[in-house]
Amino acid sequence: MKRLSIALFAMLTLICACSKKQEKSDDKVIGKPEIEVKDGRFTPEVMWSLGKMGEKAVSPDGTRIAYTMTYYDMAENKGNAELYLLPAEGGDAVQLTTTAAGEFNPVWLDDNTLLFCRGNEILSMNVESKAETTLGSVENGLEGFKLAPDHKSIVYITTIPVKRPEHLEKLYSGLDKTTGRINEDLMYRHWDDWVDEIPQIFLAKFDGKIDIENSTALIDSTFECPMRPWGGVEQFNYSPDSKTIAYTCRKKTGSDYAHSTNSDIFLYDIEKGTTKNLSEGIMGYDQNPVFSHDGTMIAWESMERDGYESDKLRLMVLDLATGTRTDLSEGFDYNFTNISWSNDDKEILGVVYYLGMTEIFACNRETKAFRQISHGYHDIHSFEMNGDKLYADQVSMQYPSEIFVYNLSDDKAEGKKISSINDEVLSQVRMGKVEEHWIKTVDGKDMLTWLIYPYDYDSTKVYPALLFCEGGPQSMVSQFWSTRWNFEVMSGAGYFIIAPNRRGTIGFGTEWCEEISGDYGGLCMQDYMTAADYFADNVKQIDKERLGACGASFGGYSVYWLAGHNHDVKGYNDGRRFKVLLAHNGMFNFEQQYLETEELWFDNWDLGGPYWDWNNPQIKKSYSNSPHLFIDKWNTPICVIHSEFDFRIVASEGMAAYNAAKMRGLEARYLYFPDETHWVLKPQNSLLWHRNFIDWFDAHLK
């Protein structure tokens, strides 16, 4: 139930840009909208007018950056991505494409030629003349590709259908219009899709054209690569000599897949057609391999334990000659992702979740010493190196993705902003101030909590406040920018936002993260209540009697749990800390959730296993904190939001919570999306979500 950060932005870009069939040429081309911001207020409508930067690629000579940018048309209820070109020193960007289909996955062939995807085609473009050439097309659609260093082949991602077993296939004979599904194993649906097809990687020769027809599958057709739901082109890489390909794969299906996170790094020899497992014996996630520049080593992200998706992401390095594996982050208590090697292979750089921000760190391969390169109130989603320059995709709570540049030699630098994608609109906006507070928990520990001030804050006035409950559960309340949980939209509506990094969030060490597993109703819930009380008591501009709480996924569960523990609270006039609640796609009934979710390893780890194992003390503790057991204590208006295509926490959870509230005689509202997933991604649905959010809290707190 993890909240996406880096992966969500890539996923959004993919959804908007990638399709299995080329869109009609007469479809509307969506461009940058004209908008005037009234009164400087940041509203949901203003948020959706902003451009969303997707993938980027630095030219070989380091002079230009190609990137994708998506704008949205609310009437059309969609967006599409175009390619842009930006000088690496900053300046005005040039738009390279203007189509209705959407472009993605830019890759430089040389300093003047850009390869990219559009629909099911891979094309090349001369960036000076903008002349395009189609290099190849893939019938089943494209999800991305990588070009070999010697430019003689590519590896591309497409999907292949999952075949029914013969004994079931015969039952469908002559029934071409049936919609029935017969399953005899687990993992028949995953996150937001029925598993009717799986992604696979194929190797194709390239000599000015891509030989798709004679391409070679690199893995068995029963396994997926990249891994669903987050994986993309980062999950495989060529060796510098173009002779081998390292890729990520969890070679499991059905029930085994549903119960395990044990993926591995495999090395495919192109000439021999042989495959070797490089991470055998490591039982957790192993993913995203990257070769050193001299080709003698591979680094990747590695988790130690099977079934635990939030285990520490270690920096693992393999010496290909000796077979020796080394955990370079053994003495470093933070997750390390987005791996890149320095030109001399002496340092390995990555993005680190660190104390409420995501920053670029470098690890010395010989000494295992880590140093911080970037520093500030921001999140760095990813970066691309060119020589000693690092070009980062960076956001904060106050601005969406922009390109910042850092130097390899930097020491806690703030970076230089070189793009101006949304400056025109944001210059018209008065954002709410963001403050960092470290407050004491009930057991005397320090907890980072963000306080976001209301738009147009006046210190002589008092305002309502919202407690934000983070999802995940093992994710960080960082400086993220989101089109759903956007703190500046909440600020623009006139609210303080209290956003604690409660027990279970990453970025504060392993001990802090792991205190949540098996203890959903314990210290993490105390952390929420502590944060709400602290700011209600210590910020005189917060009206203590006008507090609300909201959250999604684990945050939705948190709201349901708080609803059952929102009575007889000392220090509040009517004994209720929160006067109104909103829960999105949250777990309501743990027993129901255990049998309905798809990745069973998650509940096996975080809840302890199946609820019928009552001889297990951990089971009793976990399931006794299911929110549905405290319905008799519910006394607060609640809005429930859920979506039909959320297979992680299915829609019946939200419906049950709403029905329970109504049967308790409470004021309640149910917002249901029949065409959304664990997230609300369609523009008009998102606007309805936000309007409902503001209307619901305004009705009870203003």
Contact 504, 515 (CB under 8 A): yes
Tally helices (H) and strands (E) across the chain: 14, 38
Within 13 Å of residue 194, how many CA atoms lie on the same side as its CB? 9
How far apart CA 40 and CA 19 sit, in angstroms, is: 37
- Exposed (0-12), middle (13-18) or buried (19+): which is 528, by Cβ within 10 Å? buried
Contact 145, 117 (CB under 8 A): yes
Task: Give me the sheet containing 78-87, strands edge to edge.
Answer: 52-58, 64-73, 78-87, 94-95
Contact 68, 53 (CB under 8 A): yes
Residue 295: name the closest of 159, 149, 165, 425 by CA.
149
Three-class SS string for 357-399? EEEEEEEECCCCCEEECECCCCEEEEEEEECCEEEEEEEECCE
How far apart CA 475 and CA 471 sit, in angstroms, is: 7
Residue 1: name the closest of 570, 599, 692, 550 by CA.
599
- Give the helix/strand (H/E) hosting 489: helix 487-492
259 is catalytic: no
How far apart CA 374 and CA 370 sit, in angstroms, is: 13
646 is catalytic: yes
How far is residue 532 from each of residues 48, 344, 543, 563, measured CA to CA in Å?
30, 49, 11, 14
Map tokens 């057609």 to a residue: 273
Task: Give me the sheet containing 103-110, strands edge to edge.
Answer: 103-110, 113-118, 121-126, 132-137
Helix residue spans in 402-483 (DSSP H): 423-426
Bridge partners, residue 383, by sequence: 392
- Other CB atoms within a 10 A radius of the CB of residue 31 amount to 12
Map tokens 């994710």 to a residue: 475
Contact 255, 187 (CB under 8 A): yes
Structure tokens at 85: 């070109």
Q: Which of 646, 686, 690, 700 is catalytic?
A: 646
Cα distance from N-terminal residue to C-terminal residue, the chain: 32
475 is catalytic: no
Structure tokens at 590: 């743990």
Spatial CB neighbours of 312, under 8 Å, sequence gap ≥ 6: 303, 304, 329, 333, 334, 335, 510
Structure tokens at 573: 């006039």
Three-class SS string for 131-148? CEEEEEECCCCCCEEEEC
Q: Which of 378, 628, 678, 690 is catalytic?
A: 678
Q: Which of 263, 310, 396, 553 is catalytic?
A: 553
How far apart CA 8 and CA 192 sit, in angstroms, is: 14
Residues carrying an active site annotation: 553, 646, 678
